A and B are shown apart, each in its own frame.
Chain A
Amino acid sequence: EDKVVQSPLSLVVHEGDTVTLNCSYEVTNFRSLLWYKQEKKAPTFLFMLTSSGIEKKSGRLSSILDKKELSSILNITATQTGDSAIYLCAVKQGFMGSSGDKLTFGTGTRLAVRP
């Protein structure tokens, strides 16, 4: 069975702290790994990682994929209260003979940043 596991399940930090969120996966036909941020509404896209060892950055957020370890991390530096959200990891799988991809999500990490 395809599986995406995130840790920790929840995290409380203070503004200015750095956090590292983890995602590990066991899936067939891996294509890419995606990170989303979900506040009170729909998930919003952060990163898509396809190649191992190449860091992607967007402001204070960065992420990297390790295909050997079947995992990825999402780092947030100098956290702000606006970073409080659920961070979702999803793995995209491709299927032979089909023109569609499938996304399997982890249960998410709930991050709370206190002032």
Chain B
Amino acid sequence: SQTIHQWPATLVQPVGSPLSLECTVEGTSNPNLYWYRQAAGRGLQLLFYSVGIGQISSEVPQNLSASRPQDRQFILSSKKLLLSDSGFYLCASGASGYTGELFFGEGSRLTVL
């Protein structure tokens, strides 16, 4: 099975500051990668997904962006954080070429003040 590493685990940032969350995957190659956000008391909202290096699909218009510089690395960024960006961010990885089990990292808690 796959192992998903996410960091940092906890982040407190002021409004207007930049953001970078990183995710790396072990145990597979050429995975499909995903960023989800869980806002307080809410479900899991798909933010971005990628089926290959440099290929990013955005699901929700927002001030966040994602990049995939390497096969098993997925980065979530923002140039200027908003209060509404607070939440629990989850990176996930799935097998390439078909839909099956999705593996999740431990999550990153972002608080924007």
**Do A and B interact with each other, yes or no?**
no
Which residues of A are at the interface with B, using a C-beta cutoff of 8 A? none
Which residues of B are at the interface with A, using a C-beta cutoff of 8 A? none
